Amino acid sequence: MNPSRRGVIVSNVIGILLDLKTYLGILRNQTGYEHIDYYNQAAVELGMTPFYMCLKHVNTKSALGLCFENKNYTLKRLPIPKVIHNRAMTLSPTSLKKLKAIAKISQVFNGQNRHDKLHIHRLLRASANSSVFLPHTVKYSRENLVKAMNREDSFFVKPTNSSVGKGIIKVAAMPDGVWQVWWSNQLPRQLAQQQTIDFIDGKVNSQRYLIQKAIPLSMYEGRPYDLRVSVQRGDKGQWGVTGIAGKVAAVGRHVTNLAKGGEAVRCEKLFLSNGFDPVVKRKQVEEAAILIAESLSIQIPSISDVGMDIGIDHQGAIWLIEVNGRDQRYQYKHLNLNKTFYRTYETPMLYAKFLLSK
């Protein structure tokens, strides 16, 4: 018989760790990007009980959280669940320490979900399966900036640990030693070599940055696009691609992030507009994403749910731009891909059930 605590079959409980704000929003139905109903629906269909937690209310043995049973939430103190799907962004040392402590007694998947871009690049470079998809990338230094200007026609200078397209600079060579520099939402400026170096170095301002060769991204209506690819572990622990969404940069912008005015467009539409066979290209992207996820998870075993930014160049070659550890998934909502949106919540629940059964 299953051990139970006040009606809950403890062995069927799946922990879902949320940021405090999201957790507190559950009963008010204000959970921002997190579509909590989808976790509930998937877990119930799988015979599991979702238990929503936040690190503030967790100790090393138990957690006070919201249990979803019989279509209702109940506040309960339960033992730390055997399996926990982490959706919280744990950046402070205290929360990281707590997360580490519960990971000793529970299988926390996606525990570490904020990854330094340069660190990920180095891990992926080490494997032949994934290194072929990586644009040349080095740590930022004034010296490496000068080298990049001698070597590349165009490159990006990016913070190694930021998101939503913040702080990203694009640089492209023009005739006569002039450089075109894109920064923030301003019109690109044209600068001489030394001015370019001083401008970039001033923006970097001792923060941790990297320099990455620019992928000549395929265009849609004259605007560059890339793809957000949701790569998740499923019911047998295997990696799969749950969905792909295109992101087209706003007119004049050098980043495609939806938070920076980018437009979500179905990838088939984008592929067709470039003369790529949509079925073939989609399959190639999926295969690349799975190879990348597999090679990354050898090095970081808890990784199980990522959103990759993947670019396609003018020749149709596939390039990895970055790996996001906490995909917001809402691109599918923008695109009315409701089944895919649901599956991005269902797949981690299938994986959680698999982990529980092990």
Burial letters 74-93, b for 16+ CB under 10 A, else e: eebebebbbbbbbbbebeee
State the binding partner of 166 from ligand ATP, Mg ion, none, CB within 5 to 8 A by kind: ligand ATP
Name, in order, each residue with C-beta under 8 angstroms of 175's C-beta and a sequence gap of 6 or more.
none
**Shortest Å distance, C-beta 307 to Mg ion:** 8
Chain residues binding ligand ATP by CB under 6 A are 135, 156, 158, 162-166, 168, 212, 214-215, 217, 226, 255-257, 309, 311, 321-322, 324
**Shortest Å distance, C-beta 226 to Mg ion:** 8
The H or E element containing residue 46 is none
Nearer to Mg ion (CB atom), residue 39 or residue 319? 319
CA distance linking residue 352 with residue 234, whole number of Å = 8
Burial letters 113-143, b for 16+ CB under 10 A, else e: bebebbebbebbeebeebeebbbebbebeee
Nearer to Mg ion (CB atom), residue 81 or residue 325? 325
Three-state secondary structure readout of 258-308: HHHCCEEECHHHHHHHCCCCHHHHHHHHHHHHHHHHHHHHHHCCCCCEEEE
State the binding partner of 298 from ligand ATP, Mg ion, none, CB within 5 to 8 A by kind: none
**Shortest Å distance, C-beta 146 to Mg ion:** 26
State the binding partner of 212 from ligand ATP, Mg ion, none, CB within 5 to 8 A by kind: ligand ATP
Nearer to ligand ATP (CB atom), residue 49 or residue 113? 113
Nearer to ligand ATP (CB atom), residue 36 or residue 249? 249
**Shortest Å distance, C-beta 323 to Mg ion:** 9
**Shortest Å distance, C-beta 140 to ligand ATP:** 13
State the binding partner of 158 from ligand ATP, Mg ion, none, CB within 5 to 8 A by kind: ligand ATP
State the binding partner of 100 from ligand ATP, Mg ion, none, CB within 5 to 8 A by kind: none
Nearer to Mg ion (CB atom), residue 158 or residue 233? 158
SS3 10: helix
Closest CA to 110 of 286, 230, 282: 230
Nearer to ligand ATP (CB atom), residue 111 or residue 311? 311
**Shortest Å distance, C-beta 213 to ligand ATP:** 6
Span of 22-30, 77-85, 180-188, 305-313 interacting with Mg ion by CB under 5 A: 305-313
CA distance linking residue 56 with residue 268, whole number of Å = 43
Burial class (CB in 10 A: 0-12, 13-18, 19+), 216: middle
Span of 21-29, 96-104, 152-160, 314-322 interacting with Mg ion by CB under 5 A: 314-322
Nearer to ligand ATP (CB atom), residue 256 or residue 344? 256
Q: What percent of the residues of the chain are helix, what percent strand, and what percent coil, each to the nearest 5?
A: 35, 30, 35
Nearer to ligand ATP (CB atom), residue 162 or residue 299? 162
- Residue with the closest Cβ to Mg ion? 309
- Interaction of residue 309 with Mg ion, rule CB under 5 A: yes
State the binding partner of 348 from Mg ion, ligand ATP, none, CB within 5 to 8 A by kind: none
Span of 96-104, 200-208, 317-325, 330-338 interacting with Mg ion by CB under 5 A: 317-325
Token pair for residue 262?
């980018």
Span of 87-95, 130-138, 144-152, 303-311 interacting with Mg ion by CB under 5 A: 303-311
Strand locations in the chain, DSSP E? Answer: 4-5, 8-9, 13-17, 49-53, 62-69, 72-79, 83-86, 107-109, 137-139, 154-159, 169-173, 178-183, 189-192, 209-213, 219-220, 223-233, 239-248, 263-265, 305-312, 318-324
Which residues sit at the interface with Mg ion, rule CB under 5 A? 309, 322
